[in-house]
Structure 1
């Protein structure tokens, strides 16, 4: 009889306590804000105190493959000149900013005040463990010191490493002997298989060969995909990440861990035998695992560091390749211009010509095509940081948006790179058009950070451009025409699973040139 009443009193007491504490905290924040001369940014007002409608709309937008546009449209609905907002959610609040000046502060001039959030760490940890993308502070510095030397230019510039996998990809594109056209194909999954194969060989000296359709390769690609989708859902629900922990997710993570642990244990044993016999290493090509093994023999640490790199090296580059061809097939004039550039620069034969890294790097129009694909589709549409202490952002406050903004310690800041890379005031009225030529005149700064910025800038940026450029050159050498065979309304669908990929794939047919 008394237990229900006691529970009701307890719930009411907790609500009252949280309400009072929240009001006291808000008063303290406003006082600190005034002391520092900060001004409040616009507030995106929720329809109720729980914040459920915003989460519901966001989830709906994700399900409809338009989440990046939803965030951009939400900010524009306040004002096209609104680039920083405060968003109350439940008993806490977050800030969202798409202002380049704030990017400079977060990633450069005030970088010591910010780091990745615990929620991001814990969302990823079951899949990839501890590594460069999931650690903070000293642990992160240790990971970066291990990995950074391995991305030196002479290693990244080894384009011969990708050639075998490019040719394996080409073998899947069969042409009809008379017409020289392929059947309808979806290039997107092929690109994901390609980047999984190249990344696994770079990391472990042993490719899963998913492009060749091996049972093991298909299984690993499936586990990788399932785990990534679950991590995306964990990130979406923010502080409630722990609710997304299905048996399927755990099984996929365990399979990935087992696969890597077997490779690591085998390689460590081989290196130990070679060392005891004072033999020269049999494997002379660069393998990241071999280099990391010189610093640590801990299997768990080696698994975490390599899986962290595998996540970055597989889906982001695979997505970039998909978007490049997604736009090329819809802009035949760009395809023709780029193909002419490729033939004049690298030659016409797709197997007998050698691709030189330095020539690839200096092929301006090719680089601009890749940059424009990154800008308009924005492979990583959302970044984030959390304030390690009470701090400020340089702009975004007040009616004109030019005042400083106070950021309480522990507050998360979302950075919608898609929304920033689609600002008309920064990129022009043709911002929604695919125009590689825009990079001929524009040298973007903090408004274009597709690989992040500052100390945590992606180490594999040059690796990704080299790999993607290699594939583009071989495709355009072999195929002189490409036709779009996508069915539907033609609306761009940004399928967001950590990174953006085309929600309709890249459905095309290709015509083989004479060479």
Structure 2
């Protein structure tokens, strides 16, 4: 009797959900028609539960091909279809690789969209509330607090970055006939970037590069004990981070100086002028640390991953660097303006980002019933009605691999495609609109200077991984799933 009663209740619940869903769908279609919108094509599931696409996506991510899967799945609907509806059980989302829709969400209609609770909740346990997790007035407060620090002239001072580059170069020793031993540069770039970011933020570096010599020939297999240790260290880092902030609040130290009385810029010192709230200082600096370390390090890794596989581009880039900046890694006449004016460096970095999409996915959620300007109807030119609460995914990789935008050779690494190119909303590596990344100039400067110094020191780079497909390992940002295993040849030998 009990089981029969439970069965009846389950049947009633299912009927209720079906009726409710049909009512919502009817209202949805009525409102869409009122607004003159047409529905986007549907990427259908291939199983009865409606979970096949989710399972395929998870499997692709585990196999380091998640961004490529999005492209192939959308192309199943049609290579000329750039916005699709994806139903999953009783939930649905939209996926768009259409620049006009991206422009609407990030700029023209940005008041209708914001980051979703999914994104905020994912970051909150580690980062706390700050510029990447907050919305509304709290986000405006965070933005106002952080933004002035990136308009300071001091962030274009290259001395801090160059000092850590010289430490890096100091451990890359030549072995036989001027070649270094095989080395995986990927983890080393993350140590380097962490050292730069912590000194910029806190005024003192964690000096993680001190361990590089020991890491150079380390086994790349998974070490469970090391993983546990690193996890514990991550917890301790929270305490260390609090200590750095508390130390600044309680100390009476004056701003540090570099050279002849030149003030050394410290992000935390500038924030302290605006707030004395230790939680706020801690969260905002950690948000900036994550944004400053990981994408920059990933970009460095992918740059040498691709240069090692395209020797002609390496040679061209090195010739330009030597002509513009000389061959000495100790030259001190490199400026922020000179780096930015070397267009081929920028073209190479842009093409690296386009090929791999350092930040592979962005997203927004509709704050109210609203629209997107394109994607509806058979030809995809009609507007789409977007219900309140619908999440819209923006796959940057898919948008950056559209042949109709970038050319039929879209899968090739070719920096020359950027010559004379004016980009729009098809190119959003740093986001766009009000939430556009504040640290993009600092990040590009850091990577550009590192590339210059490396190519002054080395006149050859050889891929030691061998042939194989590109593996996009997503850990917030895309990293190489095979590492960046190369050897470098000294220009002096």
TM-score range, shorter chain: over 0.9
Q: CA deviation at 1:171?
A: 1.6
| Match 1:497 to one of 469, 475, 479 | 475
Q: Show the 5 A alignment for 1:425-436.
A: 425-436=404-415
Q: Shift in Å at residue 389 of structure 1?
A: 0.3
Structure 2 distance, partners of 1:49, 1:142, is 46
In the TM superposition, what is the alpha-carbon distance from 1:15 to its structure 2 partner? 2.7
User: CA separation of 1:6/1:172 partners in 2, compared to 1, >3 Å: closer, same or farther?
Assistant: farther
What are the within-5 Å matches in structure 2 for residues 135-284 of structure 1?
Answer: 135-152=134-151, 154-176=153-175, 179-213=177-211, 254-270=235-251, 273-274=252-253, 280-282=254-256, 284=263
Superimposed CA distance per residue, residues 407-430 of structure 1 (whole angstroms, 9 cap, x where no aligned partner): 001100000010000000000001
- Structure 2: 5+ residue stretches without partners: 216-223, 258-262
- Residue of structure 1 equivalent to 2:351: 372
Whole-angstrom distance in 1 between the partners of 2:256 and 2:113: 44
1:507 to 435, 460, 485: 485
CA contact (8 A) 1:182 1:509 kept: yes
1:134/1:83 CA distance change after superposition, 3 Å? same
Structure 2 match to 1:286: 265
Q: Does residue 473 of the first structure (1) align with residue 438 of the second (2)?
A: no
Give the drift of 1:156: 2.2
> Relative to structure 2, which stretch is displaced further, 356-365 or 284-293?
284-293
- Is 1:61 the counterpart of 2:60? The answer is yes
Indicate the SS of the match to 2:18: helix
Q: 1: CA distance between counterparts of 2:201 and 2:211?
A: 20
1:475-500 Cα deviation digits (max 9, x unpaired): 0000011111004x421111111111
TM-score normalised by length of structure 2:
0.93
Shift of 1:250: 8.3
1:260-294 deviations in Å (ceiling 9; x for gaps):
11111111111xx35xxxxx434641111111111
- Does structure 2 conserve the Cα–Cα contact (< 8 Å) formed by 1:126 and 1:253? no
Q: Is the 8 A contact 2:255 2:264 kept in 1?
A: no
CA distance in 2, matches of 1:31, 1:250: 51
Over the aligned positions, Cα root-mean-square deviation in angstroms equals 2.1
Once the two structures are superposed, residues 430-454 of structure 1 have per-residue CA deviations (whole angstroms, 9 ceiling, x without a partner) of 1111111111032111111111110
Displacement after TM superposition at 1:252 (Å): 6.2
Q: Are positions 1:418 and 2:416 aligned together?
A: no
| Match of residue 123 from structure 1 | 122
CA distance in 2 between counterparts of 1:125 and 1:259 reads 18
Pairwise mapping of residues 309-328 of structure 1 onto structure 2 (< 5 A)? 309-328=288-307
- Aligned partners of 1:7, 1:254: CA distance in 2, in Å? 46
Alpha-carbon spacing, 1:156–1:395, altered in 2? closer, same or farther (3 Å): same
Alpha-carbon offset, residue 31 of structure 1: 0.6
| Cα deviation, residue 14, structure 1 | 3.2
In 1, Cα distance between the equivalents of 2:15 and 2:234? Answer: 41
CA–CA separation in structure 1 for the residues paired with 2:455 and 2:211: 24
Write the deviation string for residues 157-206 of structure 1: whole angstroms up to 9, x where unpaired.
Answer: 11111111101111221112x61110000111111111111111111112
How far apart are the structure 1 equivalents of 2:345 and 2:192? 20
Q: Give secondary structure in 1 for the equivalent of 2:393.
A: strand
Residue by residue over 1:53-96, the C-alpha shift from the partner in whole angstroms, topping out at 9 and shown as x without a partner, is 21211111011110000001111111110000001112111000
- Provide the rounded CA distance (Å) in 1 between the counterparts of 2:381 and 2:429: 25
Q: Which residue of 1 aligns with 2:40?
A: 41
Deviation at 1:353, TM superposition (A): 4.0
Mapped partners of 2:378, 2:229: distance in 1 = 49
- Aligned equivalents of 2:366, 2:231: Cα separation in 1: 31
Match of 1:304, SS state, is helix
What secondary structure sits across from 1:86 in the alignment? strand
- Report the equivalent of 2:221: none
**Using the alignment, how far apart are the partners of 1:31 and 1:155 within structure 2?**
56
Q: 1:486 to 1:36 in 2, by over 3 A?
A: same
**In 2, Cα distance between equivalents of 1:306 and 1:50:** 44
Q: 1:337-381: per-residue Cα shift (whole Å, max 9, x none)? A: 110110111111012343211000100111110011011111011
Matched ranges for 1:46-125 at <5 A: 46-125=45-124
Partner-residue secondary structure (3-state), 1:330: coil
Change (3 A) 1:214 1:500: closer
Assess, with a 3 A threshold, how the Cα gap between structure 1 residues 254 and 19 changes in structure 2: closer, same or farther: farther
Q: 1:101 to 1:474 in 2, by over 3 A?
A: same
8 Å Cα contact 1:451/1:461 also seen in 2: yes
Deviation at 1:404, TM superposition (A): 0.5
Q: Deviations over 1:243-269 (max 9, x none)?
A: xxxx99985663332121111111111
User: How far apart, in 2, do the equivalents of 1:250 and 1:504 lie?
Assistant: 22
